Amino acid sequence: MPCKDPEKARNKKYYQEHKEYFKKYYQKHKEHILATIKKHRIEHPEEYKVRYKKYLQNHPDCNKKYRRNHIEKLKYQSRKYRQDHPEKFREKRRKQRARKLNAPGSHTAEDIKFLRNISGGFCSGYNRDPHQVGKEKLTVDHIKPLSKGGSDYTKNIQMLCQSCNSTKGIKYN
């Protein structure tokens, strides 16, 4: 496909004629070139978002090909991210579920961390007395379930231990 912009066409022709020079120059100054690109990318993120979106429109199978050819690498990266960032992963899953159920509102991992801290590791209990379980063992529970029209706002969330949270699910219906 011929280039419509005359300046781009000239540049492309010049590059083709001096390809070896550019390869040598790149090899010699690779670190500096990559640092400059990285700096520009940080300073102009919107420009790169537009470029990437345009690239994907012109190359619709590119992302699919990469995923197909690097499936094991991507699975490993995903597993490692889940292990290194369990709260972020849970937050993502909770948001997906809330979106699927059209629940209004949202909360963040920081909100959950705050609720865990103010609970002091105590489960408020469901049909039983409050009891100590430790901050790490507390789970997110919606006071009014999302499936029954509850919101995903922080005010509709309480921290329960897994046992109480499971019991509530059975008895609420």
| DSSP assignment letter at 1 | -
Mean pLDDT of 57-71: 83
**What's the Cα-to-Cα distance from 81 to each of 68, 86, 111, 121, rounded to whole Å?**
20, 8, 21, 26
Percent of the chain with pLDDT over 90: 35
> What is the enclosing helix (H) or strand (E) of 100?
helix 86-100
Q: Does domain 104-172 have CATH number 3.90.550.10?
A: no
7's CB contacts (< 8 A; 6+ apart) are none
Q: What is the pLDDT of residue 173?
A: 46
User: 3-state DSSP call for residue 138?
Assistant: strand
pLDDT digits (tens, 9 = 90+) for 1-49: 555 678 888 888 998 999 999 999 999 999 999 999 999 999 999 998 9
Locate the domains of the chain by residue range.
104-172
Question: Residues 88-110: pLDDT tens digits?
Answer: 888 888 889 999 999 998 888 88
Q: Is the Cβ–Cβ distance between 141 and 155 less than 8 Å?
A: no
